[in-house]
Amino acid sequence: MELNYVISITDRDQIQELAALFQSLELNMGLAMLGKGTATSEQLSIYGLSNTEKAIVSTVADGESARQLFRAAKRKLFMDIPGNGIMLTVPIKSVGGGRTLAYLTGNKTPAGGAPDMNFEHELIIAVLNEGYSDAVMDAARTAGAGGGTVLHARGTGTKQAEKFFGVSLAEEKDILYIVATAQQKAAIMTAINKTTGAGTKAGAICFSLPVSQVIGLRKMDDN
C-alpha cells in the first residue's frame, strides 16, 4: 500500500480549514505545530506578502486519499498558487504493526509494495542551536534555497554525541524545513555544513527526505 506523510506549511489561520479537509477524507491522524517563516524583508516586499506566523499541519494518507487531499487543498485553500502555503508528501516505507496500519488507513486492505524513492524534490531538515536559524537560512540561500520554515524544539541528545562529535542536542533547538529540488539538495546541505555546521556556533546537522508530490513552490525562470 502506498502510504504518505503529508506536511502542510501555511498561515496559522488555516489550521481549522486543513483539519476539516482531513476529516472530510476520514484521515484519522492530524498534528499541528507552530513555526515561523524565513522570508527576508526584500522577498516579502517583492511578492507583496506579510511576515505571518506559520503552522505545520500533518497527517498520514494512502495514495488515493493524498491525491484527493491535494485536489481539495487547491480548490478550497488555493495552495497551488504561490504564497498560499506548501503541501508535500513524504513516502512512508513501513509502520509499526497491523493495528497502526489499520488506524492510519481506516482499515483499508493493504495492497502494493514499497514506493519508488526517486523524486524531483526533497525536504531538507536542519537541526540547529536556538537563535541561529537566520544564519543557517542565509547559508542555504547561497546555494539556491528560496525559503524555509522554523520550528522550536528541545533536544534529548546523549553525552556521547557531544563528547565525540561536538554536537549537543540536550538543549533548546530550532528545526528548519527547506523544500528544494533534488538537484539543489546536495549544494544546499554542503553550504549549511560548511559555514554553520557541527563545530560552529549554529551547530547545524542536516538530512533530507524524498518528496513524492508538492504544490505551492514558486516557479523560477530557467534564466
- Span 119-138, pLDDT tens digits: 899 999 999 999 999 999 99
Q: Which three cell numbers stand for residue 70?
A: 491535494
CB contact set of 38 (below 8 Å; sequence gap of 6+) = 133, 134, 137, 147, 148, 149, 150, 176
Is 86 within 8 Å of 6 (Cβ atoms)?
no
pLDDT tens column, 152-194: 887 665 555 555 455 555 578 899 999 999 999 999 999 999 9
Q: Where are the domains of the chain?
A: 3-116, 121-211
Q: With a cut of 60, say whether residue 50 has pLDDT above it.
A: no
Does 3-116 match 121-211 in CATH topology? Answer: yes
Lowest mean pLDDT among 20-29, 89-98, 150-159: 150-159
Q: With a cut of 90, say whether residue 196 has pLDDT above it.
A: yes
Instruction: Give mean pLDDT, residues 91-97.
Output: 80
Q: What is the domain class of 3-116 according to CATH?
A: alpha beta
Q: With a cut of 60, say whether residue 10 has pLDDT above it.
A: yes
Is 184 within 8 Å of 145 (Cβ atoms)?
yes
Q: With a cut of 70, say whether residue 49 has pLDDT above it.
A: no
* pLDDT: which is higher, 16 or 163: 16
Instruction: Give mean pLDDT, residues 3-30.
Output: 90
Percent of the chain with pLDDT over 70: 79
Instruction: Give mean pLDDT, residues 184-207.
Output: 92
DSSP for 10-24, please give it. Answer: EEGGGHHHHHHHHHH
Is 144 within 8 Å of 189 (Cβ atoms)?
no
pLDDT of residue 155: 66
Q: Which CATH fold would you assign to the domain 121-211?
A: Alpha-Beta Plaits (3.30.70)
Q: With a cut of 60, say whether residue 43 has pLDDT above it.
A: no
Name the residue among 25, 47, 34, 20 with its Cα closest to residue 217.
Answer: 47
pLDDT of residue 39: 65
- Confidence bin at 102 (pLDDT 50/70/90): confident
Q: Which three cell numbers stand for residue 25?
A: 477524507
CA distances 98 to 94, 103, 106, 110, Å, are 11, 9, 12, 10
